[in-house]
Amino acid sequence: MKAIDFVVRDGAGAIQRGVVPAEGNAAVSLTQGQEISFNLRQVDLAGQQRSGDDLIITLVDGRQVTLENYFNDAGEANRLFISSDGYLNEVAFVDTADGELFAQYGPTEQWGKWSPSDDLIYLGRTEVASAPLTDDEEVSMLGAALLGGSGLLGGGAAAAAAVVGGAALLNNGGGSGGTGGGGAGGGGGGSAPTPYVPADPTIDGAGTSANIGGDDTATHVFEVTGTGEPGDAVTVTAGHQVVTTTIGDDGKWSVTFQGATFPNDGTVDVFAEFSHAGGGATTLPGPTFVIDTTPPDVAVTEGVDSVGHVVNGGEMSSGVTLKGTGEAGATLEVTISGVTRTVTVNDTGTWEATWQAGTLAEGEYSTDVTIVASDNFGNTTTVTDTLVVDTVAEITMETATLEGDGIINAVEASDGVVLTGTAQPGSTVEVTFGSVTRSATVDATGNWSATFAAAEIPSGETTVTATAVATDTAGNTATATGDVQVDTLVNALNYTSTAGGDGTINASEAAAGIVVTGMVEPGSTLLVTLAGVTTAAVVAADGSWTATFAPGQLPSGTYTSDMVATATDAAGNTSSVTQSVNVDTQASVLTLNGPVEGDDVINGVEASDGVVLSGTSDPGAIVNVTLHGVTHQTVAGSNGTWQAFFAAGEIPAGTYDAQISATTTDAAGNTATVTDTVHVDTHVDNLSVAADQIEGDQIISGAERADGTVITGTTEPGSTVLVTMGAHTVQAVVDANGNWQAPFAANQIPVGEYTADISVTATDRAGNVATVTDTVEVDTLVSTLSLNGPVTADDVINAQEAREGINLGGMVEPGSTVMVDFNGTVMAATVDAGGNWSLDIPPSAIAAGEYDAAITVMATDAVGNTDAISDTVRIDTQAPGGPVIASYTRDSHGVRGISTDQSDGDLSVAQVNADGTITDVVANQVDIDVLGETNFQFQTDVPDGSHLVVSSQDAAGNAVGTYVVLDDESANSSVDLGNSNLGNYQIEAVDLQFAEEARLTITEAQLLNLSDNSNTLTIHGGRDDTVTIAGAQRTGSTTVDGQTYDVYSLGAEGTIILDDDIAVNTGVV
């Protein structure tokens, strides 16, 4: 036997070291929160037992080590470790129901060589007994994640696994020899074998680093080598790749990573795990490989065709630059037209390369761009693009053929001038004409045009310079200029003689022919027109002209006519001068103008302001005019016109034909007389409007408006009638008897409630006008219709509100009826005299579930107008999933907290007190996302014997509760669900899992009282629990979270879903 080293470390990190003597037993006294590590292996331990708060460990050589106060409950728990060969394992213990103590072994939370526990680690080993390593040394019931600082066993399933594991360990005993005994003393029937110490393993190149990469896949390989105990298995891990081999007889080993086992790009750390034939394992770090087999990224972001760039003349003159992105540190060779630039991608992953001015050719062309990128590992990437060069712009402008002859005359200037030319397709063109600049319109083929308005063209005779500047799509510019002649007037047009010598042409002069002369701009053509007769003048080289009217060419008679000379110059401009000419070739004349008053009818309006009769005669002639027996004398004016005025009192009212005559006598005593008649009609007969017959009640409703409204009345036959209602006027249709009707379309009758004025104006055939007026009422809509909201406080109807029913209400036009369609159910609302409407929606009309219920409110007013408004209200009667209890925490004073599965609803915890009252538990609530749980730490312990209600409530206010039965160490947990207060918490589940030997009795009445949401209760528990449901009938089974539950019906309405592990009693209670 050998002495055994141990070390004790307290919570502050202070350590004490000691030795278990080679002979005899030993004791180590502990306080709380201490860690003690012995230089032992699992095979060295034969058994363990608990004595009060002490732990007694029996070694395979028979020695006992007592850890005093190890199980002390006060403060943090103590922890036991065993360590050898540089590895640290924790020993945890589980009490069974019959008082046995089982051990389970596992590596620490960080696994393997764990620096925070260096104080507890022993690099060598103590040979306590001659026993080889067994498979049990590798057993860990919980694994690394469940050992360490957060406790060993968190729930019933883990505890059960620990018991099974512990039992298997004890069955193996402390030794592996023989087939007898086992037990705490080790042994068996055989003799102990000689201890076997394996050779220390090694791995070559540990701590070194090498780079691997490049385009050549033949280089994608590396080998890891080392030494160790012949026959030991070696598992080598490189990144996510694993290769296994066996150490050869010469103590050497090697593995190769290539092909499918070659790791992905990145920094790859190599580890080798040696599985010793005698038991145990050793893990060693090896070399590090930096692997990069990925071609470097490279892209062009500026300067090439793929990004829509064209190099223009301005850019070419300052040099061409390409920019892009790539792998930092990569070398790029960028080639354009055989000229290569070498650049390096900077630390920010960008690059640029420049070809100075003169390096690349100018013109219009496209050339290839080739980029070859190489990274530090030899990986390469080649990308290609195109450089588009356009350094040339073109433009032409047509001025010589502008307006056909290169000259803008007055007519051409008056409607504007269009300059045209050509440019490269896609160019923009700016055109300047004089001082005005315009952007030209350029078509797809490059033809351009620019229009200049008349006001922008100078008048007179001048020369204007036009300039066109084109900018092509690449930004290059070109300019074209030209001169335009402007000539907008005719010079020096006038008369040099008068017709007849004195401006009057008599009969003898007309018989001899008339000659007229004048001057005009040389090169012009000229036409002279007199009394409708046109003759062409002869224009001499100096601009003098002569126009001749042949004998008898001019009309005979007495008249005055403008003689117009019209000249057209060489540019096409025209101009005219006028001379007034008198012609008198006959004796005195007398005429009577007609028709009188435009239609030979004198109506009432015309008679009311008097009537003028007129005619013509020789200037100064005396004319006697008679109308219906009344005569007036007048004198023809200098222009030969005369007129006689007859006042209103001289024209009797009525309908009749009046006689007209006019007489004049010249100086020789000759008399001329003309006669005529005129019809007199001064009023409109029988005009009326039948307003009281409009739509039968003198009211236009919405439906009546929709198909139009007809207004009727009477008038004098032959009259025209205009009917105005509101802002619209309609011409009525008048029949032969004078009955009229005027249809108004719906769009001519504004909607609303108002009084519309009606005006009817009739004009008879004589032009007399009469008007009558009336009114009609228009009511085309339901003036008020609203729905109060929100329907509930949050505009969501939850289960409780649905069970109670809801009230809808709003406003409507007084006197209306209201029908409400609530999600397919139509009901009549109550409307009071003030227009307030109300409707109670019964629970039966509110279907359960989660949906938007449609609401349509339909109103009909007193005249039959209808209106409807629609809305929706959210229905959410679906309660959230019931809270699922994951664990609870207790101490000597009671329950300190619980953990639940996370829920979509708001979770809360209440305490069921001994007197039946239920009060909220104040707790700190924290979500633990990695576990999917919500933890409640109570600010005050819940006393033993109390039960909990855990509730979940969704945003709509629907709630569901789980009744949690807690363990009462003083007695079996008896559960009474007869507490009427439980119904306030919508209990749909009872959890007995955390109570020892729970006893639950439930009746149908109690079940129905637990929740308004459901008559189904789910009961969770275990084999030690009993549920009594007298009269229940098993109807089948179901699965809840992967576990089988039995289904029972209870009474007419109740259903119980019961964990099939629970003992059930359906007999008489």
909 and 1015 together in one domain = yes
Bridge partners (DSSP) listed for residue 700: 778
The stretches of 80-194 forming alpha helices (DSSP H) are 156-172
% of the chain with per-residue pLDDT over 90: 55
SS3 159: helix
Average pLDDT of the chain, as a whole number: 85
Least confident range of 162-171, 533-542, 799-808, 1017-1026: 162-171
SS3 327: coil
903 and 1021 together in one domain = yes
The span from the CA of 795 to the CA of 852, in Å, is: 11
Which token pair is 653? 């009212």
Q: Tell me the pLDDT tens digit for each residue of 631-669.
A: 999 999 999 999 999 999 999 988 899 999 999 875 544
Q: Evaluate whether residue 416 is within a structural domain.
A: yes
Q: In the predicted model, is pLDDT for residue 156 greater than 80?
A: no
* Average pLDDT of span 144-173: 29
Provide the pLDDT confidence category of residue 270 given band limits of 50, 70 and 90. Answer: very high
Q: Tell me the pLDDT tens digit for each residue of 509-529.
A: 788 899 999 999 899 999 999
Which token pair is 401? 């053929």
Longest dimension (CA), the chain: 184
* Nearest alpha carbon to residue 105 among 69, 133, 126: 133
Q: Evaluate whether residue 880 is within a structural domain.
A: no
How many CB atoms sit inside 10 A of residue 455's CB? 8
Bridge partners (DSSP) listed for residue 566: 527, 576
Least confident range of 197-206, 480-489, 997-1006: 197-206
227 and 130 together in one domain = no
C-alpha Rg value of the chain to the nearest Å: 59
Which residues contact residue 540 at a Cβ distance below 8 angstroms, ignoring those fewer than 6 apart?
none
657 and 740 together in one domain = no
Q: Tell me the pLDDT tens digit for each residue of 891-933.
A: 878 889 999 988 888 899 999 988 889 999 999 999 899 988 8
Determine the distance from the C-alpha atom of residue 356 to the mean position of all C-alpha atoms in its chain, rounded to a whole number: 48
* Nearest alpha carbon to residue 735 among 703, 759, 712: 712
373 and 425 together in one domain = no
966 and 1059 together in one domain = yes
Read off the CATH number of the domain in which 346 is found.
2.60.40.10
pLDDT at 135: 39
The span from the CA of 1022 to the CA of 306, in Å, is: 71
Q: C-alpha distances in angstroms, 623 versus 349, 631, 634, 661?
A: 111, 10, 5, 10
Q: Evaluate whether residue 177 is within a structural domain.
A: no
* Nearest alpha carbon to residue 976 among 1069, 1057, 1058, 895: 1069
Domain that holds residue 558: 494-584
Q: C-alpha distances in angstroms, 724 versus 38, 708, 761, 773, 780?
A: 115, 15, 8, 9, 19
Q: Evaluate whether residue 185 is within a structural domain.
A: no
Count structural domains, the chain. Answer: 9
370 and 513 together in one domain = no
Greater pLDDT, 958 or 417: 417
Q: Evaluate whether residue 764 is within a structural domain.
A: yes
How many CB atoms sit inside 10 A of residue 662's CB? 25
Query: Which is it for the CA torsion 999, 1004, 1006, 1010, positive or negative?
Result: positive
pLDDT at 571: 84
Bridge partners (DSSP) listed for residue 450: 419
Last residue of a domain, one of 555, 584, 613: 584
Last residue of a domain, one of 439, 468, 487: 487
Q: In the predicted model, is pLDDT for residue 294 greater than 80?
A: yes
Q: Contact, 296 vs 330, CB < 8 A?
A: yes
801 and 852 together in one domain = yes
pLDDT at 152: 29
Bridge partners (DSSP) listed for residue 938: 923
957 and 1008 together in one domain = yes
Q: Evaluate whether residue 179 is within a structural domain.
A: no
Which token pair is 847? 């279907």
pLDDT at 585: 64
Which residues contact residue 902 at a Cβ distance below 8 angstroms, ignoring those fewer than 6 apart?
927, 929, 932, 933, 934
The DSSP output letter for 123 is: S
How many CB atoms sit inside 10 A of residue 85's CB? 16
Tell how strand 544-549 and strand 558-568 pair up: unpaired
Q: Evaluate whether residue 818 is within a structural domain.
A: yes
Instruction: Please report which helix (H) or strand (E) contains residue 509, including its range.
Output: helix 507-512
Give the DSSP letter string of 556-623. PSEEEEEEEEEEE-TTS-EEEEEEEEEEE-S---EEE--SGGGTTEE-HHHHHT-EEEEEEESTT-EE
Which token pair is 363? 């013109």
pLDDT at 766: 87
pLDDT at 404: 87
* Nearest alpha carbon to residue 316 among 386, 373, 392: 392
Q: C-alpha distances in angstroms, 396 versus 402, 473, 623?
A: 13, 17, 76
820 and 943 together in one domain = no
Q: In the predicted model, is pLDDT for residue 435 greater than 70?
A: yes
564 and 421 together in one domain = no
Q: C-alpha distances in angstroms, 566 versus 414, 521, 534?
A: 19, 12, 10
* Nearest alpha carbon to residue 1062 among 993, 968, 962: 993
The DSSP output letter for 207 is: T
How many CB atoms sit inside 10 A of residue 497's CB? 13
Query: Which is it for the CA torsion 792, 798, 800, 803, positive or negative?
Result: positive
Bridge partners (DSSP) listed for residue 464: 484
Least confident range of 151-155, 705-709, 954-958: 151-155
Q: Is 325 exposed, middle or buried (0-12, 13-18, 19+ CB in 10 A)?
A: middle
The stretches of 24-155 forming alpha helices (DSSP H) are none
Q: Contact, 962 vs 950, CB < 8 A?
A: yes
Determine the distance from the C-alpha atom of residue 384 to the mean position of all C-alpha atoms in its chain, rounded to a whole number: 38
434 and 508 together in one domain = no
Q: Give all strands (DSSP E) within 703-805, no chain letters.
A: 709-714, 720-725, 728-731, 733-734, 739-744, 753-763, 769-779, 796-798
Q: In the predicted model, is pLDDT for residue 551 greater than 90?
A: yes
Query: Which is it for the CA torsion 459, 465, 466, 471, positive or negative?
Result: negative
Provide the pLDDT confidence category of residue 97 given band limits of 50, 70 and 90. Answer: low
Which token pair is 390? 């356009």
The span from the CA of 327 to the CA of 298, in Å, is: 7
Q: Tell me the pLDDT tens digit for each residue of 1001-1021.
A: 999 999 999 988 889 999 999
Last residue of a domain, one of 447, 471, 487: 487
Q: In the predicted model, is pLDDT for residue 289 greater than 80?
A: yes
Greater pLDDT, 63 or 879: 63
* Nearest alpha carbon to residue 392 among 312, 307, 505, 496: 312
Q: In the predicted model, is pLDDT for residue 118 greater than 70?
A: no
Q: Evaluate whether residue 195 is within a structural domain.
A: no
pLDDT at 372: 96
Q: Contact, 452 vs 417, CB < 8 A?
A: yes
The span from the CA of 627 to the CA of 642, in Å, is: 15
* Nearest alpha carbon to residue 393 among 357, 356, 434, 421: 421
